Amino acid sequence: MILDALTAAMATGKVRVVDLTQTLTEDFPTIVLPPEFAQSAPVRIERLSHYDAAGPAWYWNNLSFGEHTGTHFDAPAHWFTGRDRARGTVDTLPPEHMIAPAVVIDCSAACATDDDHLLTRPALEAWEATHGRIPAGVWVLMRSDWSQRKGAAYANLRADGAHTPGPDAEAMRWLVHDRGILGFGSETIGTDAGQGGDFAPPYPAHHYLHGAGRYGLQCLTNLHLLPPTGAVLFAAPLKVHEGSGSPLRVVALIPGKDTP
């Protein structure tokens, strides 16, 4: 009955579906590591046939990409802190985690003026003062409006590395250990800030989330369409054997216009 009510609400617009996914393209920026490290393969879409001599009646492509390209999911096994977690890879991910509520922390104003804006624990506590305590088992999505940037401005690489917003170490520790969130999502290339390598611990979002068996989502878009609370996220990565993550389609259910 609940599901019937849900589909009915979706049919009438009382529940709307928002696509939070960037189109998987070949020139979408990916994480840049120092070149002496192994590099992620880029997204490549190679045509096999297009109703032509290579396949007269059909169109299809060969698709290749690294696990961490486009809008993608980070599983606990992605980071050394999560290497021993049970069900830490995408193929063993509990399916009930693929559908979960989400809260949205709007940092867009600060990010507009500060590329290196950090989401802090006090900011989160201030958010709670307005919207209530962040429940356990939710996705926390950091809205930065970064997804509206393109190309070089999106990657924002400088000589000292990327400059993109993200959470600081204490915020992540607090969200994971004191609030028990399911995962953290961002609009930038990583769940961590561009300069997160210099934090203690380095890359705290990866460190705390995956160390606790939690998840990351990055390169999200359309977060500005979500309410601060009340959205439900569908995030089901590809069932890649022992995969550390995968590109995926992320959609959110949100209350429609006439819903209180």
Partner 1 sequence: MRAKKNPLHPVRRPLLPPGQRSRAAHLLTAAAGEGRFALPCCTACGRFAWPMPEACPACLGDIALATASQGARVLSATTAEVPADAYFRERAPWRVGLVQMDCGPQALVHLSPGADTGDSVWLSLKLDRAGSAVLHAGREGEDMTTDPQWRDMVADPRDRRVLITDARHIAALPLARALAKAGAAAIYAGLPDQWKPLDTRAALESVPGLSLVPLDVTSDRSVADLAAQIGGKVEILVNTADLPRPGGLMGPSATADARAAMDTVAFGLLRLARGFGPAMAGRGADGTLGAVAWVNVLSVFAHAAPPALAGYSAAHAAALAFSHALRADLGQGGVRLLTVFAGPTDDPWFQTFPQPKVTGKALADGIVAALLNGQEQAVVGDLARDLMERLRENPKAVEREFAQGRM
Q: Which is nearer to partner 1, 103 or 162 (CB)?
A: 162
Is the distance from CB of 214 to CB of 181 less than 8 angstroms? Answer: yes
Interacting residues with partner 1 (CB under 8 A): 26-27, 29, 32, 35, 37-39, 41-42, 44-47, 151-152, 154-155, 157-159
**Closer residue to partner 1 in complex, CB, 151/256:** 151
For residue 176, the 8-state DSSP code is: I
Cα(16)–Cα(194) distance, integer angstroms: 33
CA separation for the pair 106, 101 (Å, rounded): 16
Q: How far apart are CA 74 and CA 50, in angstroms?
A: 34
Is 6 or 157 the residue whose CB approaches partner 1 more closely? 157
Is 66 or 211 the residue whose CB approaches partner 1 more closely? 66
Q: Tell me which of 78, 206, 207, 210 is the catalytic residue.
A: 78
Question: Which CB sits closer to partner 1, 44 or 177?
Answer: 44
Q: How open is the CA angle 142-98-144, to the nearest 5 degrees?
A: 10
Give 156's strand partners: none
Cβ atoms of residues 187 and 143 within 8 Å = yes
Which amino acid type is present at position 81?
T
Whether 97 sits among the annotated catalytic residues: the reply is no
Strands 118-119 and 166-167, sheet pairing? parallel
Tokens 């439900």 label which residue?
232
Residues 186 and 218 sit within 8 Å (Cβ to Cβ)? yes
Q: What DSSP element (H or E) covers 138? A: none
Find out whether 223 and 191 touch, Cβ atoms under 8 Å. Answer: no
What's the closest the beta carbon of residue 42 comes to partner 1, in angstroms?
A: 7
Q: Is 193 exposed, middle or buried (0-12, 13-18, 19+ CB in 10 A)?
A: buried
Q: Which residues carry out catalysis?
A: 78
